[in-house]
Amino acid sequence: MGKEKFSLENATIKSIHDAFTKNELTCKQLVEMYIDRIKENDKIGPKINSIIMINEDALNRAEQLDEEFKKSGLTGSLHGIPVLLKDNIDVTNLPTTAGSISLEGIKAERDAFITKKLKEAGAIVIAKTNLHEFAIWGETRSSILGQTLNPYDLTRTPGGSSGGTGAAIAMNFGLIGIGTDTVNSIRSPASACNLVGFRPTIGLISRSGIVPYSLTQDTAGPIMRTVEDSAKVLDVISGYDENDSLTSWSIGNIPKTYTKYLNKEGLRNKRIGVLKSFFGEKESHKEVNNIIYENLRKMKDKGAILIDIDENIDADKLIEDISVHLYELKEDLNEYLRGLGSKIDINSLKKIIGSGKYDKGIEKNIEVAQTLDKRMPEYNKRLFERRKLQNLVMEIMAKYKLDAIVYPHQKRPVVKVGESQVERNGVLSAVTGFPSCVLPAGFTNPTKTARMGIPVGIEFLSRRWNEKVLFEIVYGLEQSSKK
């Protein structure tokens, strides 16, 4: 087939591996194609501005994998598959900036646990992606790179904080995207960029080697084009890590493979609760609501049983009254920075603030975070309220005999550049620690700046360690939506 004829647009892990085995494509050719796309579209052309740095060693690694393939075939389940890592995830030969000039040039001494797992499966890290600085909010703007744009509407943000990963995957700059999520940050870019975003149960994926925001709520996860590829990546990056004690809870809760649950009839007889309080009621919410309701109709046609949830949950109140992210930022970030040793002068949140080397858009949040800590009564009150919320969600699921809960990820389309992200619902999964997945739901009506319309995401949440049921549901809906 040759490098020139292989299309990245509809590539999957399987299609790439098929091309390798048929000798129609090499790892080196594939990596070159992705890097060429980055060079042609990220800083020039549409100027998506999603890539902080390209891994100069990627082509060497691709050549090594090509040699290994000649001798023994595929070296792992992700052999030669290009990965885009959010730049708060450590890679030994690349700096980890967390999007901040204050950490520019700082390299970790070892790979993050999930980086190591990806490499062991044969994947190639080809670039680090932009994020909202220190993953603190949702527009994907940083002092190290600036504003990333949404490929579907260059006047809008790509969501955040993992918007660099989302925009880059949407632009076919790589096949595997890895983001992190403290409140909305995997699922927001997935919703805004027409992708699959999977936030797993807290403890399924290690956070060691990832710049933290709030270790009570932080997790990493895939941002991908398809549910099948999301399952394949989750197979690789999940599991116990002695450097993250929460992952010990995953033992006995991980199936041999999540791909076992990719059932085209996965919606049949699933009882799914529609969380009405997460739908907007204003004219500005109408387009999103209509798209979500159309998906609910598809779900019913595929055999799902939909039940309206009467209980009122207010997403904004969950952030204001329960989320602990700002209370944990200082201590969790400081511990990570101290772990970098003497190589870094700016080794605390206080010194970051004092340096002035950050985007001014995060100034209010980091200044507030500097005044908060885990010993405050309000922090412990929030943890107590978090437990009450977990119990409430479980009671709702028990009362209605639910397999999952469904709602729009964002009540109205992702915001324009320069505006702050609003009306997102991802906090329910983040605060409970329960798994959720955002799936492409459709597009708003076309506009002058969005010829296809603006992507809208539908979110499904289930109980702890119930990823397998989520995969059944989202795969069933994804397949029913394919023409």
Per DSSP, the three-state class of 266 is coil
Partners of 305 in beta bridges:
271
Question: 31: part of which helix (H) or strand (E)?
Answer: helix 27-41
Task: Identify the active-site residue in 50, 161, 188, 323.
Answer: 161
Strands 455-461 and 436-443 turn out to be antiparallel
DSSP H helices, 212-260, are 227-237
Task: Identify the active-site residue in 185, 191, 323, 462.
Answer: 185
Task: Identify the active-site residue in 50, 77, 86, 330.
Answer: 86
A 10 A CB-CB count for 334 gives: 17
CA distance 400 to 310: 10
- Peptide bond between residue 161 and the one before it cis (omega within 30 degrees of 0): yes
Per DSSP, the three-state class of 17 is helix
Is 185 known to be catalytic? yes
Sequence length of the chain is 483
Is 143 known to be catalytic? no
Q: Are 213 and 162 in contact (CB under 8 A)?
A: no
Structure tokens at 297: 């109709």
Is 116 known to be catalytic? no
Kindly write down the DSSP assignment for every residue of 134-180, as one continuous string: GG-SSS-EETTTEE--BTTBTTB---SSTHHHHHHHHTTS-SEEEEE
- Helices 113-120 and 227-237: angle between axes, nearest 10 degrees: 110
**Radius of gyration over alpha carbons of the chain, in Å?**
21
> Catalytic residue positions?
86, 161, 185
